[in-house]
Amino acid sequence: DEMFSFKYSPGKLRGNQYRSMMTKEELEEEQRVQREQLAAIFRLMKEKSDTFGEMSEGDMKEQLRLYDI
């Protein structure tokens, strides 16, 4: 018998379930990368407002909440 068994189920775990499995260092690194990626996305959207329309940072954060980000 294994003390811990993890069965991978694609699409079944929510973000908070993955976070609970991470070490503190992994979680900090994940958050750092996420901040960098979101900043890059926001910059691109501002630069290409003719394509994406005008969107404030608050608008973008509200949209990201829909995806548990």
Query: pLDDT of 44-67, one tens digit each?
Result: 888 988 888 887 878 877 877 877
- The position carrying tokens 């992994």 is 26
Tens of pLDDT along 7-49?
Answer: 655 555 666 666 778 888 988 998 899 889 888 988 888 898 8
Q: What is the pTM of this model?
A: 0.57
Six-digit token pair at 4? 């811990």
| Rounded-to-integer distance, Cα 47 and Cα 50, Å | 8
Q: Are 22 and 30 in contact (CB under 8 A)?
A: yes
